[in-house]
Structure 1
Amino acid sequence: MPEEPFDDRTMPLPADPWRTQHGPAPTVHLGGPTAYLGDPDRTTHLAGPGATSPAPHPDGSEPTIRTQAELRFGPGVPVTPVAAPAWPETAPARRRPWGRRLVSLVSGLLTLALVVVVGFYVWQRLSPIAVESVTVAVPKPAGTRCDVTVDVVATVRTNGKAGVIRYQWFRSDAAPGGILTERVGRGQRTATLTLRWTFAGVGTATETATVNIIEPSPVQAGTKVAYRCRRG
């Protein structure tokens, strides 16, 4: 039986299956940049499409396969920072033409004037009557006439609003008179209240007549009334 030829070439050591688990991970090259997996002494290149696998190295190390891109994995590998998004550019404010700005200004002024007019009209319509002043006088005094009736006139000035004036007369020779009313129309700024006072007999007397405004606000005003009758 012939003897088999003896091959005295040194066989490479078998790969340790636990080396990648207990030791640093190898580096994988995916074509281009290198992807490190923990062990800088061990590199594996994976070829891209159409690439051929190179022959193993004479020293028994693993072949290198390259691809189109390089990926890096493992601790200590710098990470490429993500680019921050660009801030959106603010569009410049558009300025309205002078014509439109002028029209807007005039429109605003007209609206304001209309609001003022309407407000004044409503205030005129809704505001109540008010007494501004009261004066009392005797237009035709009795003089030296006997048995005479004189008119005592109270002039009431108002704010021109419509309403009712409630009043009464006080005479110095009698009890207070009853409460009377005088209606005033819109725009009427003067109201006349008259007291007819009759004197009789011979002699001289000086009396006082006072008008007492009750509504819209309490106001009083008076005057002297003289009587002189000489017979004989």
Structure 2
Amino acid sequence: MNDDDYSATELGSHWFERPTPEPTPDRVEGEVLRFGPGVTAAAVRRAENSPTVVQIWHGTLPGVPAPRPARSRWPWRYAFAAVVLVAVLVFLAWRQYGPTVAVRDVTVSTAGHRLDCDSTADVVGVVRTDGRPGTLTYRWERSDGTRSGALTEKLTRGQKEARLHLLWTFHGSGTHQAVARLVITSPSPHSSAATFTYHCG
């Protein structure tokens, strides 16, 4: 080959040596070793008759009835908690919006039965209740023909008694038999009165 036939971009097989191929052996030395019985016809039949992993997982084994669907335990699991929650809510609603205060008894009294000249009588009305919260509406009526307007008294939970005061002032000489009456108008009508004497001169 001369330099005119040489090209830098072509590599011919004549520029390098290939390894010589190994000769094919004419016979195999040694024996073929086998371990175990191999895949026999009995093993193939056994594999065909045995359940697969998919059948075991899904519970669809041949000859075995399909399992019943599991009952949902959710209602029974949370039923007790739901009943307790509803009972607490009902109790709280009953306390807040349930029956209002109930009046048990009303009494009216003064510090003494005789009042001296130019004095003020402190008439006290005691209203006993059942302890529920609520509002009393009441008025005072006096024997001189006057009466107060509608008055209210708020009661808190557990308060079983309300003390209502009337201050009645007398002036001048003479004797006057005075009667002060407490009238409860709501939640239910009740009344009570106290009598005392004003004497001056």
Counterpart of 1:135, as a letter, is: T
| Alignment RMSD (CA, Å) | 2.7
User: SS in structure 2 opposite 1:125?
Assistant: helix
Counterpart of 2:144, as a letter, is: D
Counterpart of 2:116, as a letter, is: R
Is the 1:172–1:207 Cα contact (8 Å) retained in structure 2? yes
Is the 2:101–2:134 Cα contact (8 Å) retained in structure 1? yes
Q: Which residue of 2 aligns with 1:170?
A: 141
Which structure's relative contact order is higher, taking Cα pairs within 8 Å and 6+ residues apart? 2
Q: Which residue of 1 aligns with 2:182?
A: 211
Q: Which residue of 2 aligns with 1:222?
A: 193
Is the 1:149–1:196 Cα contact (8 Å) retained in structure 2? yes
Counterpart of 2:198, as a letter, is: Y
Query: Within 5 A, what are the aligned runs for 1:1-232?
Result: 122-127=93-98, 128-138=100-110, 140-141=111-112, 143=114, 145-229=116-200, 231=201
Unaligned runs of 5+ in 1: 1-107
Is the 2:113–2:195 Cα contact (8 Å) retained in structure 1? no
User: SS in structure 1 opposite 2:194?
Assistant: strand
Counterpart of 2:127, as a letter, is: V
Q: Percent of pairs identical after alignment? A: 41
For 1:132 and 1:156, the matched residues in 2 are separated by 8
For 1:170 and 1:143, the matched residues in 2 are separated by 19
For 1:215 and 1:142, the matched residues in 2 are separated by 29
Shift of 1:174: 2.2
Distance 1:220 1:185, change over 3 A: same
Shift of 1:114: 9.1
Is the 1:142–1:148 Cα contact (8 Å) retained in structure 2? no
Corresponding residue pairs, total? 123
Which is helix-richer, 1 or 2?
Answer: 2
For 2:140 and 2:121, the matched residues in 1 are separated by 15
- Greater radius of gyration (CA): 1
Shift of 1:144: 5.3
Shift of 1:116: 7.4
For 2:197 and 2:92, the matched residues in 1 are separated by 47
Q: Structure 2-normalised TM-score?
A: 0.52
Counterpart of 1:146, as a letter, is: C
Q: 1:18-72 deviations in whole A, cap 9, x for unaligned?
A: xxxxxxxxxxxxxxxxxxxxxxxxxxxxxxxxxxxxxxxxxxxxxxxxxxxxxxx
Is the 1:141–1:226 Cα contact (8 Å) retained in structure 2? no
User: SS in structure 2 opposite 1:123?
Assistant: helix
Counterpart of 1:179, as a letter, is: A
Counterpart of 1:221, as a letter, is: S
Shift of 1:188: 1.0
Is the 1:142–1:150 Cα contact (8 Å) retained in structure 2? no
